[in-house]
Structure 1
Amino acid sequence: QKNKSNRQTLPKKQVAFKMYLGITPSVTNWSPAGDEFSLMLENNPLVDFVELPDNHSTLIYSNLLCGVLRGALEMVQMAVDVRFVQDTLRGDSVTEIRMKFIKRIEENLPAGDE
């Protein structure tokens, strides 16, 4: 079930990246259980004109993307863990965002609101 849910929502995630950032991430590194994968961004438009000062070299400047992904998926009843693994701004060759499915969120309506 988890594997099917993740794979079904992938095209929507890729379309969202294309719509809002003008890029399409590739999807790689699926876990054997099918509940975790990586979104690889060759170019991250959020960092085009950014340089991290030496005293902030560990800052994950584009961490906003993790929050956007997590929040958008909560709207469709999916709890996920999203984190940066690699970041071009910190010298990596690509930007890699790792996403792990945690659970399906059950809607709990208050008594009488059914």
Structure 2
Amino acid sequence: MSRPANRRPENPKIDWHLPTVSSSASAHHMSRELFVLTYGALVAQLCKDYEKDEDVNKYLDSMGYNIGIRLVEDFLARSSVKKCRSYSETTDIIAQVAFKMYLGVVPTVTCSNSTRFSLILDKNPLVDFLEELPAGRSSLCYCSLLCGAIRGALEMIHLAAEVTFIQDTLKGDDVTEIGIAFLKKIETRKHKRNK
């Protein structure tokens, strides 16, 4: 029996994920878990490399910033959100869409004025396997990466913001609170066409 010349042999698809309700849910769960474990190893290594907590915090924030400026394209492509009309709407999208999409949690949004907002996480997924900060590292901001990522992503959509940790469960607080203070809208330069 011969095969037609223009037909390719069929290759069976192999699902490499652990069985759950769906393979995509399993892939998300596994990749999040892997990210959390890898992140913990990264922070541990940075604590060995840098003596001062401020240096580790700065490095994590910078790393998060670089992730945020690259992640915003993926977010806009996958989420199909429309342009936000206010800081409040932007913060809601960060909480309800971005955090859910990438970390699997939805923080509560609180507002102190028209430019200052807080994202309150009852459960911070980055500290799933961590109970307390390493000994002698009381000023370490373990999740600085999140602040940098938010700041970088906002900058890519032309919004300057200061993003800081206000409360941290690793430091004895009941919740993790990330503060976002919008500074200004970054002006985009329009290129004039030479005639």
Tell me the residue number matched to 1:48: 128
Q: Partner of 2:123: helix, strand, or coil?
A: coil
Higher strand proportion, which one?
1
Q: What is the aligned-residue identity percentage?
A: 53
Aligned twin of 1:67: 148
AA matched with 2:94:
K
Q: Distance in 2 between matches of 1:11 and 1:96?
A: 15
Which structure has the greater CA radius of gyration?
2
Which 5+ residue runs of structure 2 have no aligned equivalent?
Answer: 1-84
Matched positions, count? 108
Could you tell me whether the CA contact under 8 Å between 2:116 and 2:181 is conserved in 1? yes
Displaced runs of 4+ in structure 1, greater than 6 A? none
Code of the residue aligned with 1:18 in structure 2: it is K
Runs of 5+ consecutive residues of structure 1 not aligned to the other structure? none
Q: Deviations over 1:51-102 (max 9, x none)?
A: 3222112200001000000000111110000000100111111000011010
Per the normalisation by structure 2, the TM-score is 0.52
Q: Which letter does structure 1 place at the counterpart of 2:154? A: L
Task: Report the secondary structure of 1:69's partner residue.
Answer: helix
- Match runs of 1:78-89 below 5 Å: 78-89=159-170
2:193 and 2:171 map into 1 onto residues whose CA distance is: 52
Q: Give the structure with the larger helix fraction.
A: 2
Q: 1:12 aligns with which of 93, 102, 105?
A: 93
